[in-house]
Amino acid sequence: MTVEPGTRVLKASAGPDAAETVDAVRAAAACLKAGGLVAFPTETVYGLGADACHGEAIARLYAAKGRPAFNPLIAHVAGVTAARRLAVFDAEAETLAAAFWPGPLTLVLPKRPDCPVAALALAGLDSIAIRVPSHRTARALLDAFGGPVVAPSANRSGHVSPTTPAHVLADLRGRIDLIVEDGPCAVGVESTIVALLGPPTLLRPGGLPREEIERVLGHALLNPAPGETDDAPLAPGMLASHYAPKARVRLDATAPREGEALLAFGDAPAFDGTVLNLSPRGDLIEAAANLFSHLRALDAAGVTTIAVMPVPHEGLGEAINDRLARAAAPKP
Ligand code: TXA
Ligand code: MG
């Protein structure tokens, strides 16, 4: 393909039927077909898409993100029919797909022998992570492209995931071909990842609460054995600080200290310094949607420490606390 300097920004925020959106989606699909890198919105976070069957495009994607090549990617498809061409679905996989797709759930399944996804995208594993996003623009792009699109979160490796087009540009401007803009992401944390390679196992808490999945399955999800977490399927614990801002993060802070910035949840204590509240009314859905943009905003303010108030662990609180723990982990 002809490589244009810089990153083109195309708008899809006027709705799926607007001429501008139709043009943006068509251009993005053509760019993917040519082996290009396209950032696009999903309901969870912005993804950085590449043609899943195009090894060279995937190599460029790892380079653009600065991502360790052993971390496998999620294949995004338009629906369950397309997903069945990539992976073997057992009864529980069918049940979860029927209940939660499209939506913020990724299933890790045995890959089919004839799965066309490039081995590089799967880091050589025999399993494949698949997701059907519900975001209108993601769906339009997958329909127009007509094949699987691998898409990690559209941030430099180790940074927090992007929930707005501005976050994507801050990390990747000039390193990717195109970004399709359609506002902030409604969910705000990445998809929940469930492995169905044995007893159903929660690999990453995310935008779909564990309790909803367990209700549909009729039994509890296992937790991953150490060394099998989402960020380190092959290399135990290596990327514990994956979601790190530059500032130090102090968790379960009931009172902020002088010089800190406060990331509040619910009723915030009176404080002279910078305060951003994940959800003044203590709503976990609102808190998830604000998590990464508030972390980025406090980090951009240049504070050395972000004090984070306690967040309850139920529902989306499991994913929020997981991301906060990673943000607070010692940097590699
Ligand atoms: O919400 C999301 O899932 C976003 C949007 C863009 O779809 N994507 C996302 O991708 O968060 P990424 O690459 O940042 O995270 C995908 C995670 C990685 O931690 C990877 O290790 C795990 O999925 N993963 C992918 N394939 C896997 C597999 N076969 N087995 C176990 N884990 C896998
Ligand atoms: Mg990521």
Q: Which of 238, 266, 288 is the last residue of a domain?
A: 238
Q: Does residue 80 surpass a pLDDT of 90?
A: yes
Q: Quick one: which atom of ligand 1 is closest to the CA of 128?
A: 29
The ligand that comes nearest to the alpha carbon of residue 171 is 2
pLDDT, mean of residues 254-269: 95
Q: Are residues 289 and 188 part of one domain?
A: no
Quick check: 241 pLDDT over 60?
no
Asked whether residue 1 is domain-assigned, the answer is no
The number of the ligand nearest the C-alpha atom of 72 reads 1
Residue 226 lies in a domain: yes
Select the more confidently predicted residue: 71 or 34.
34
Choosing from 205, 238, 271, the residue where a domain stops is 238
91 and 185 together in one domain: yes
Which pLDDT does position 125 carry in this prediction?
87
In the chain, % helix, strand, coil (3-state, to 5) comes to 30, 15, 50
Which residues are found with C-beta within 5 Å of the ion, ligand 2?
153
Q: Which of 44, 106, 239 for a ligand 1 pocket mutation test, highest count of atoms within 8 Å of Cβ?
A: 106
* Angle of the 19-33 helix axis to the 136-145 helix axis, nearest 10: 50
Question: Do 193 and 51 have their domain in common?
Answer: yes
145 pLDDT band, cuts 50/70/90, is: very high
Of the ligands numbered here, which is closest to the C-alpha atom of 131? 1
pLDDT of residue 242: 60
Q: What confidence score (pLDDT) does residue 224 get? A: 77
Which pLDDT score, from 0 to 100, does residue 55 have? 87
Model confidence pLDDT, tens digit, residues 101-110:
999 999 999 9
**Cross-sheet strand order for the sheet of 149-150:** 8-11, 178-181, 38-40, 47-51, 149-150, 74-76, 127-131, 105-110, 192-195, 201-204
Measured in angstroms, how far is the CA atom of residue 62 from the centroid of ligand 1? 13
Say if residues 249 and 299 touch (Cβ distance below 8 Å). Answer: no
Strand order in the sheet with 275-277: 248-250, 305-308, 261-264, 275-277
Ligand 1 atom at shortest distance from the alpha carbon of 190 = 1
> Is 150 touching ligand 1 by the criterion CB < 6 Å?
no
- According to the model, what pLDDT value does residue 234 have? 36
pLDDT for 66 beyond 90: no
CATH code (residue 21): 3.90.870.10
Residues 276 and 305 in one domain: yes
Q: Are 89 and 187 in contact (CB under 8 A)?
A: no
Closest ligand 1 atom, residue 231 Cα: 19
Q: Looking at ligand 1, which atom is closest to the CA of residue 47?
A: 6
Contacts of residue 19, defined as CB under 8 A and 6 or more positions apart, other chains included, come to none
Q: Which tokens go with 31?
A: 């760019």
Q: Is the CB of 47 under 6 A from ligand 1?
A: yes
CA of 273 to the centre of ligand 2 (A): 30
For 155-197, how does the pLDDT look when each residue is reduced to its tens digit (9 = 90+)?
A: 998 888 999 999 999 999 999 999 999 999 999 999 999 999 9
What separation in Å is there between the alpha carbon of 106 and the centre of ligand 1?
8
Q: Are residues 12 and 125 in the same domain?
A: yes
Q: 161 C-alpha to center of ligand 2: Å?
A: 6
Q: Tell me the CATH number at 266.
A: 3.40.50.11030
More confident residue, 230 or 90: 90
Domain that holds residue 216: 8-238
**What phi-psi label fits residue 124: left (phi over 0), alpha (psi between -120 and 50 degrees) or beta?**
left
Amino acid symbol at 102: P
167 and 284 part of one domain? no
- Residue 233 pLDDT > 70, yes or no? no
pLDDT tens profile 25-63: 999 999 999 999 999 999 999 999 999 999 889 989 988
* Mean pLDDT estimate for the chain: 91
pLDDT digits (tens, 9 = 90+) for 287-326: 999 998 899 999 988 899 999 999 999 999 998 998 899 8
Q: Is residue 243, in this structure, part of any structural domain at all?
A: no
Residue 30 included in any domain: yes
- Which ligand places an atom closest to the C-alpha of 232? 1
Query: What is the number of structural domains in the chain?
Result: 2
Residue-wise pLDDT tens digits, 194-231: 999 999 999 999 999 999 999 999 999 998 765 544 44
Ligand 1 neighbourhood includes 155 CB (under 6 angstroms): no
Considering every ligand atom, which ligand is closest to the CA of 189? 1
DSSP string, 270-313: P-SS-EEES-TT--HHHHHHHHHHHHHHHHHTT-SEEEE-----
Q: How many CB atoms lie within 10 A of CB 330?
A: 8
Q: Do 33 and 162 lie in a common domain?
A: yes
**Does 237 score more than 50 pLDDT?**
no
- What is the rounded CA–CA span in Å between residue 250 and residue 237? 20
Whether residue 135 is found in the same domain as residue 115:
yes
Residue 43 CB less than 6 A away from ligand 1: no
Atom of ligand 1 nearest to the CA of 46: 6
Q: Which pairing describes strands 127-131 and 105-110: parallel, antiparallel, or unpaired?
A: antiparallel
Alpha-carbon distance of 325 to 37, in angstroms, equals: 30
Is 70 exceeded by the pLDDT of residue 239? no
Nearest C-alpha to atom 6 of ligand 1 is from which residue? 47
